[in-house]
């Protein structure tokens, strides 16, 4: 009787959803109208993904039994060989065909970034997130988001942005076109009527004085040039971030819950590789693209400027990748031992200003985590991880070196250290998940 109950519960867990994918990206139905852009913020992600969704998951019978039986339902968009089909989420690249060093270093970038031959018009300051930046339009009319490096950690965030985007593009994900730019303050001119909220919380004009305040802690070299990452605006109508749990009901070709897509579940392995601990809902973006063929919704992965050894305000903290921003079990261990319990990550490795804190000391592929939980990563099973490990194995040492070179890190010592550790971590992940 007990065995029959377990079989019935397993069927309940693994028969939910439908295996389906289309041969075309496009929908031929009328384009949805009046779609409101969904808001995003770090605080919203913390509440919805860390508190609400983590509590809500245990209100579902199937998830309760899944936890009790230590079982995970399989991904629902897989091909017979375990891979995933090309889709609006993912395009198979290095996983099916070797890529040259130049192709990986170039990524999806179509030009050299913002046009430097004329002034950039500042459209508005960057309000969300913690990094300093602003939106601009160059002389060609192309729009970019500019995010600046800190004076105390030159190159750290901009190089991380470039390297992370190049690797994720080679893997198969949709990413914006990122480039590194150097510019003088005279490159900027202002759109009339700009305002921003200063440190007092009051709305004030965003003028030359406000710009100087914004740039006060940003890196400027001996030639008077600021260094930043430039993110080219994405095509299509902006819909806001994608859910890491549910599918978009307005898209007939998106019928599989996002938490059940292998490319979103297995992404945890790729994030662990580059210590991209800040992958969360607000660091994704959906756009609606319509043309003569019809319409579809394209899904992007954003913001790699705190990957590798970088954090928004400098190097990563040692605990990143080891526990959530609020981990009940770790808090209880400290409380019950009156503070004598020492977390395993307290050993500090070498920190370089250009590459931050990136170490393989105490790195555990099975225990690595983002700082905010999400359904897709929590659903990752051994098959998802093995699929990701197979793609990782396609990256050669030379590919990795070319990626780091694209980050334009001037310190040879810091650059070589990062290359060595990325190769080492790739091997750790392949050995662990490839043998599971």
Helices then strands, each counted (H, E), the chain: 14, 13
Q: Convert the pLDDT of each residue in 249-283 to its tens digit.
A: 888 888 899 999 999 999 999 999 999 999 988 89
What is the helix, strand, coil percentage profile of the chain, to 5? 35, 15, 50
Q: What is the band of 221 on the pLDDT scale with cuts at 50, 70, 90?
A: very high
Q: b or e along 167-184 (b: 16 or more beta carbons within 10 Å of the residue's beta carbon)?
A: bbbbbbbbbbbbbbbbbe
Is the Cβ–Cβ distance between 240 and 286 less than 8 Å? yes
Q: What is the band of 413 on the pLDDT scale with cuts at 50, 70, 90?
A: very high
Rounded Cα distance, 95 and 82, in Å: 12
pLDDT of residue 241: 92
Question: Where is mean pLDDT largest: 27-36, 195-204, 354-363, 389-398?
Answer: 389-398
pLDDT of residue 36: 72
Q: Which of 150-164, 196-210, 242-256, 368-382 has the lowest mean pLDDT?
A: 196-210
Return the percentage of the chain with pLDDT > 70, whole number.
80
pLDDT of residue 16: 40
Residue predicted with more confidence, 2 or 111: 111
Per-residue CA distances from 217 to 129, 207, 208, 309, 314 (Å): 16, 17, 16, 20, 12
From 341, 262, 352, select the one nearest 308 (Cα to Cα): 352
**For residue 354, pLDDT beyond 80:** yes
**For residue 330, pLDDT beyond 70:** no
Residue predicted with more confidence, 359 or 320: 359
pTM of the model: 0.87
Residue predicted with more confidence, 159 or 347: 159
Per-residue CA distances from 351 to 6, 319, 416 (Å): 50, 14, 13
Q: Convert the pLDDT of each residue in 300-322 to its tens digit.
A: 999 999 999 998 888 988 888 87
Q: Convert the pLDDT of each residue in 34-71 to its tens digit.
A: 777 776 665 566 556 655 566 666 666 666 656 665 66
Range 5-13, long-range pairs (CB < 8 A, 24+ positions): 6/69, 9/65, 9/69, 10/69, 10/71, 12/61, 12/62, 12/65, 13/62, 13/65, 13/66, 13/71, 13/73
pLDDT of residue 7: 40
Tokens standing for residue 149: 């490096």
User: For the residues of 123-180, what is the DSSP string, one character each?
Assistant: EEE--SSSS-EEEEE-TTS-EEEEEEPBSSSTTHHHHHHHHHHHHHHHHTBB---EEE
Per-residue CA distances from 251 to 25, 153, 286, 296, 407 (Å): 10, 43, 12, 7, 36
Rounded Cα distance, 210 and 227, in Å: 19
The DSSP symbol for 337 reads T
Q: What is the band of 23 on the pLDDT scale with cuts at 50, 70, 90?
A: very low
pLDDT of residue 64: 62
Question: What are the helix (H) ranges across 215-301?
Answer: 262-265, 267-274
pLDDT of residue 207: 82
Q: Convert the pLDDT of each residue in 224-236 to its tens digit.
A: 999 999 999 999 9
Rounded Cα distance, 330 and 246, in Å: 29
Rounded Cα distance, 422 and 417, in Å: 9
**For residue 12, pLDDT beyond 50:** no
Whole-number mean pLDDT of the chain? Answer: 85
For 289, residues 6+ apart whose C-beta sits below 8 A from its C-beta are: 235, 236, 237, 295, 296, 297, 298
**For residue 402, pLDDT beyond 70:** yes
pLDDT of residue 99: 97
């Amino acid at each position: 009787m007990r065995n029959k109950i377990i079989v019935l519960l397993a069927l309940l867990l693994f028969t939910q959803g439908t295996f389906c994918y289309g041969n075309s990206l496009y929908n031929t139905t009328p384009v949805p109208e009046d779609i409101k852009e969904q808001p995003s913020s770090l605080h919203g992600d913390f509440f919805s993904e860390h508190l609400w969704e983590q509590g809500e998951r245990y209100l579902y019978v199937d998830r309760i039994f899944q936890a009790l039986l230590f079982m995970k339902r399989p991904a629902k968009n897989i091909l017979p060989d375990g891979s995933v089909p090309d889709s609006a989420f993912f395009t198979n690249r290095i996983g099916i065909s070797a890529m040259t060093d130049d192709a990986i270093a170039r990524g999806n970038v179509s030009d050299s970034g913002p046009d430097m031959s004329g002034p950039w018009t500042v459209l508005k300051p960057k309000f969300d997130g913690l990094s300093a930046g602003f939106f601009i339009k160059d002389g060609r009319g192309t729009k970019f988001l500019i995010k600046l490096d800190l004076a105390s950690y030159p190159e750290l965030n901009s190089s991380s942005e470039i390297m992370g985007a190049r690797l994720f593009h080679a893997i198969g994900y949709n990413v914006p076109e990122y480039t590194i730019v150097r510019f003088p303050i005279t490159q900027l001119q202002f759109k009339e009527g700009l305002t921003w909220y200063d440190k007092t919380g009051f709305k004030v004009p965003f003028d030359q004085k406000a710009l100087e305040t914004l740039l006060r802690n940003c890196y400027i070299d001996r030639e008077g040039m600021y260094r930043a990452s430039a993110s080219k605006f994405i095509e299509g109508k902006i819909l806001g971030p994608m859910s890491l749990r549910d599918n978009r009901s307005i898209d007939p070709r998106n019928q599989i819950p996002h938490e059940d897509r292998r490319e979103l579940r297995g992404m945890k392995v790729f994030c662990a590789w580059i210590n991209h601990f800040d992958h969360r809902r607000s660091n994704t973006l959906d756009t609606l693209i319509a043309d003569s063929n019809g319409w579809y919704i394209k899904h992007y992965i954003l913001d790699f400027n705190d990957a590798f050894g970088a954090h928004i305000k400098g190097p990563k903290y040692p605990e990143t990748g080891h526990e959530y921003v609020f981990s009940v079990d770790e808090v209880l261990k400290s409380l019950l031992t009156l503070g004598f319990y020492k977390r395993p990550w307290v050993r500090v490795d070498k920190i370089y200003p250009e590459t931050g804190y990136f170490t393989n000391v105490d790195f555990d592929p099975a225990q690595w985590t983002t700082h905010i939980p999400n359904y897709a990563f929590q659903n990752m099973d051994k098959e998802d991880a093995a699929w990701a490990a197979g793609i990782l194995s396609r990256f050669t040492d030379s590919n990795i070196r070319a990626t780091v070179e694209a980050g334009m890190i001037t310190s040879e010592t810091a650059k070589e250290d990062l290359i060595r550790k990325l190769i080492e971590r790739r091997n750790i992940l392949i050995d662990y998940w490839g043998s599971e």
